Amino acid sequence: MNKLVYVIGALLILAFIGMGAREMMQSQSPYVETVAEVKSAPAGSSVQFIGAIVPGKAKYSADGKELTFFMKDKNGETLCVRFEGVKPQNFDTAPKAVVRGVYKNSDFHADQVLLKCPSKYEGK
Amino acid sequence: MQSITISLDNLSIYIALFCAVVSLVIYVISAAAKRDDHDHVINKIAGYVYFASTIFVGFASVHLMQQILSLSHYDVAYIYDYSGPKDELLYRISSFWAGQEGSLLLWTLFSGIIGLMLIRKRAVFAPATMAFWCSIQTFFLVLLVVADPFRKFAEYLPEMVGQGLNPLLKNPWMAIHPPIVFLGYAALLAPAAIVVQALIKGDLREWSNKALPWAVFGWVSLSAGLILGMVWSYEVLGWGGYWGWDPVENASLVPWLTGTALVHGLVMQRYKGRMAWSNVILALVTFLLVIYATFLTRSGALSKISVHSFSDLGAYAYLLGFLIFYAIICNDLPLLAWKSIKPDAKPLQPVSKDFIVVVGVIVMILFAGVALIGTSLPLLTKVGVKPEFYNNMCKPIGFVAALAILISSFISWSRTGNSPVSFSFSKSSWKSGSHVAHIGVLMMMLGIAFSSLSKTEKLQLPMGGSSSSAMGYDFTYVSREKTSDTTDTLIVWAKHNDHQIKIPLEIVNTNRGMLRKPRIFSFFTGDLYVSPADIKITPSASLTKDGWMSLPAQIPATEAYVTLLGMNVEKREVTLQYQAPGQDAREITVAEGHPATVGDYTLIFDEFVQTGEGQEMGANAGVNLAVEGPGLAERAIIEVSWKPFISLLWIGTALIILGGLMATWRRFREYRTKNYGILPDNN
């Protein structure tokens, strides 16, 4: 009885680890720092682009559902980001952002926009 | 890296560092010579030197606070960055720990004071424990020398006035969140320091009783800190969530989970004599994970990919060095006591209290592993995981944990606790902190499960115009008021049958960006969460050839359509087709800066939109058009969410803190009175 419990327990833990490996493969999203890398990512795969927000260009679409803004990489190449969400707090002053999503039809369709806070942790 | 200079301001940090090193050396000598007696002269001397070190950390803290409150020391970079003359007193005080340097100082002060308590307690005191503690103090003080809170600007102009605290942090929850987290971190280091002595002596029987109060206290403090962070995220950030699996959040979640496992293990060791060896590992691992969290968030290691991590203040090498140093120590220490380990006396019987608690501990360790691997992955591979990874992994974890809590609530630590289930809980056990906290955990889990059912919709509302409905309410944007120099308040009404709510949504413009404050209305069945997204003074449309918008694009709130026919980038003009109902289509050219009038509307060519700067206008280039005319009122874009039964989550977290405090009080009292309530037939 006791041994059986240990065996079942070990099997469950192994199953959990296996599930973890599978989930990790499915939900991975590499970090990239250039627009060229964003564009060369396999079609439909998620990447996280780290770049600077081009200031003052963010706009909501006519029906108010989609936010569009531009980001620039260190080579000066820009990327048009479309995001069906709300501008995060501090968007207008954030020097940098991390956008996660899929590159499709020459735009970046983001499902998450995270900002580098200029002041929460960082000093000048 | 900033240059390291000694001034009158930071002198006390240097003295504190010197004292910490001296006391470290004396305690090491004392431990090596086995002078374990609390009253031995060598320990007395080391104690006084340690006391002096803590006093000087206190001096530095008081000095920094005094400079912040004096409103005149903006030549100090830290004070300039986080404090300002217009801030309220509470936020001037909390600016002390708003940044990296000040929060380090606060943590050093807390762990300094806990060290004094470890010295004072005759039974806890041991030179090896204190040597370990002094090494931690030395570690923090070296960091404070590198990340100097008193660093002055090389060039300071008298007109430079403090920037003020980031408006996002101006929230009572956020004001007290950092001290509580650091108090928790500092207290969770104590079990590791206590186990060091036990390992050196090779006696693992007594240390767990000494460590338990500190583990419980550190646990409840860190719990409260994490929960305050969740409340702040929900109430202030406006995205409607409370946990985002951000590296900084995860970095503190991982030691919290191992700390939770440690608390359970220590209780198990007290009542059943089990898990002695696991507790040694858990105490050391929790300690290492706290240091690792410090490394992750403060070294700048994740600064490229995490939005919340501190930038590198030149401490990367130090932090990594300390981490490796402690990793080696914590790896080797247990070997000292290898011989003294005895396997658990009685084998585990399935579905006994012991069994359930062991299952719970394993689940928490697995959870910690998931969060640790997910958070560390980008460090090693430049690949991150999406929140779905954590969310999916949490499902089996939550299921087993909930089951374990439910079953174990009905089994007491009875004398026959190792026999199969006897549902024999006594009524008095429901008064225990443990039960209160576990009920809280179950309620919190229910709240989390419900929050996966929450719904969100975005609405665009014309001012004084038609209403749109979402979540069973009709929303109308009534007016916009300038409620202060910096604040616009959008008055929105939500109507549901006869029930009306006035929703004032504030948009605050500060020198640190725009702050859009969400409003939350709590009902028995859930929260109505409304956050302002933007105000559009003139409606505008984006037109591109490949159709960002459906083409032809309809001018908002009108029957007219506009189609983009061509663009001339050099002349900076665009050709459009305008089609109003019942009229022939008209072709018009609009140049930048020259609005064109068609029918009742004015079309303003705003700007070209392109996806590659410096490139030819490609297929996906386009224009932004603004339109003015009758019926085109200012619009507000708001986001409306419904969060079903989210109050369960908050009530649950409150119960967790209440139960944790009850348990802390009980464990410290038991320790003082040496009345552990151990059941008679336990080994």
Please indicate, yes or no, whether residues B623 and B486 belong to a single structural domain of this protein: no
Task: Please list every residue in chain B whose beta carbon sits closer than 8 Å to the beta carbon of residue A77.
Answer: 612-613
Please indicate, yes or no, whether residues B11 and B134 belong to a single structural domain of this protein: yes
Question: Is-contact B588 B575, C-beta < 8 A?
Answer: yes
**Predicted pLDDT at B669:** 87
**Predicted pLDDT at A60:** 76
Please indicate, yes or no, whether residues B582 and B626 belong to a single structural domain of this protein: yes
**Would the CB atoms of B513 and A28 count as touching at under 8 Å?**
no
Q: How far is A74 from chain B (nearest CA, A)?
A: 13
**Predicted pLDDT at B284:** 93
Tell me the pLDDT tens digit for each residue of B477-505.
988 888 888 888 999 999 988 888 899 99
**Would the CB atoms of A62 and B611 count as touching at under 8 Å?**
no
**Predicted pLDDT at B309:** 52
Q: Is A62 on the interface with B (CB under 8 A)?
A: yes
Q: Region B179-196: what's the mean pLDDT?
A: 95
**Would the CB atoms of B384 and A120 count as touching at under 8 Å?**
no
**Predicted pLDDT at B637:** 87
- Is B266 inside a domain boundary? no
Tell me which chain B residue has its CA closest to the CA of residue A57: B609
Please indicate, yes or no, whether residues B25 and B158 belong to a single structural domain of this protein: yes
Please indicate, yes or no, whether residues B108 and B2 belong to a single structural domain of this protein: yes
> Which element (helix H / strand E) includes B680?
none
- Is B296 inside a domain boundary? no
**Predicted pLDDT at B42:** 92
**Predicted pLDDT at B314:** 65
- Is B433 inside a domain boundary? no
Tell me the pLDDT tens digit for each residue of B253-281.
999 999 999 999 999 888 888 888 889 99
Instruction: Give the residue from B529, B482, B522, B525 showing the smallest Cα distance to B506.
Output: B482
- Is B288 inside a domain boundary? no
Q: Which of A22, A89, A117 to mutate to test the interface with B (most CBs of B within 10 A)?
A: A89
Strands of the B601-609 sheet, one edge to the other: B540-544, B622-628, B601-609, B596-598
DSSP string for B65-106: HHHHHHT--TTBHHHHHH--TTS-HHHHHHGGGSSHHHHHHH
Tell me the pLDDT tens digit for each residue of B120-171.
888 888 999 999 999 999 999 999 998 889 988 887 887 788 888 888 888 8
**Would the CB atoms of B239 and A98 count as touching at under 8 Å?**
no
Please indicate, yes or no, whether residues B13 and B47 belong to a single structural domain of this protein: yes
**Predicted complex: ipTM over 0.95:** no
Please indicate, yes or no, whether residues B532 and B579 belong to a single structural domain of this protein: no
Mean pLDDT of chain B: 83
Beta-ladder partners of B418: none
Q: Region B161-190: what's the mean pLDDT?
A: 91
Tell me the pLDDT tens digit for each residue of A5-63.
889 989 999 999 999 999 988 888 888 888 988 888 888 888 988 888 888 777 777 66
- How many domains does chain B fold into? 3
- Is B595 inside a domain boundary? yes
Q: Which of A62, A70, A90 sits opposite B513 (nearest CB)?
A: A90
Q: How far is B394 from chain A (nearest CA, A)?
A: 10
Q: Is A99 on the interface with B (CB under 8 A)?
A: no
Task: Please list every residue in chain B whose beta carbon sits closer than 8 Å to the beta carbon of residue A24.
Answer: 373-374, 377, 385, 389
Out of B123, B146, B166, a domain closes at: B166
Q: How many CB pairs under 8 A join A and B?
A: 198
Measured CA to CA, the distance from residue B420 to residue B427 in angstroms comes to 20
Confidence bin at B85 (pLDDT 50/70/90): confident
Please indicate, yes or no, whether residues B486 and B549 belong to a single structural domain of this protein: no
- Phi/psi of residue B457, nearest 5 degrees: -140, 145
Domain ranges, residue B460: 455-537+636-644
- Is B376 inside a domain boundary? no
Out of B124, B143, B166, a domain closes at: B166
Confidence bin at B401 (pLDDT 50/70/90): very high
**Predicted pLDDT at B682:** 39
Please indicate, yes or no, whether residues B6 and B121 belong to a single structural domain of this protein: yes
Q: Region B4-27: what's the mean pLDDT?
A: 91
- Is B656 inside a domain boundary? no
- Is B125 inside a domain boundary? yes
**Would the CB atoms of A123 and B77 count as touching at under 8 Å?**
yes
Structure-block tokens of residue B521: 């209305």
Tell me the pLDDT tens digit for each residue of B282-309.
999 999 999 998 888 777 666 655 555 5
Tell me the pLDDT tens digit for each residue of B619-655.
456 676 777 666 666 788 899 999 999 999 999 999 9
Tell me the pLDDT tens digit for each residue of B204-243.
888 888 999 999 999 999 999 999 999 999 998 888 889 9
Please indicate, yes or no, whether residues B17 and B117 belong to a single structural domain of this protein: yes
Q: Which domains does chain A have, with CATH numbers?
A: 30-116 (2.40.50.140)
Rank B319-323, B461-465, B660-664 by mean pLDDT and report only the highest. Answer: B660-664
Task: Please list every residue in chain A whose beta carbon sits closer than 8 Å to the beta carbon of residue B620.
Answer: 80, 105-107
Please indicate, yes or no, whether residues B26 and B118 belong to a single structural domain of this protein: yes
Please indicate, yes or no, whether residues B22 and B154 belong to a single structural domain of this protein: yes
Q: Which of A59, A86, A90 sits opposite B624 (nearest CB)?
A: A59
> Which element (helix H / strand E) includes A33?
none
Does the structure show a pLDDT above 80 at A86? no
Does the structure show a pLDDT above 60 at B248? yes
Tell me the pLDDT tens digit for each residue of B584-597.
788 888 887 788 88
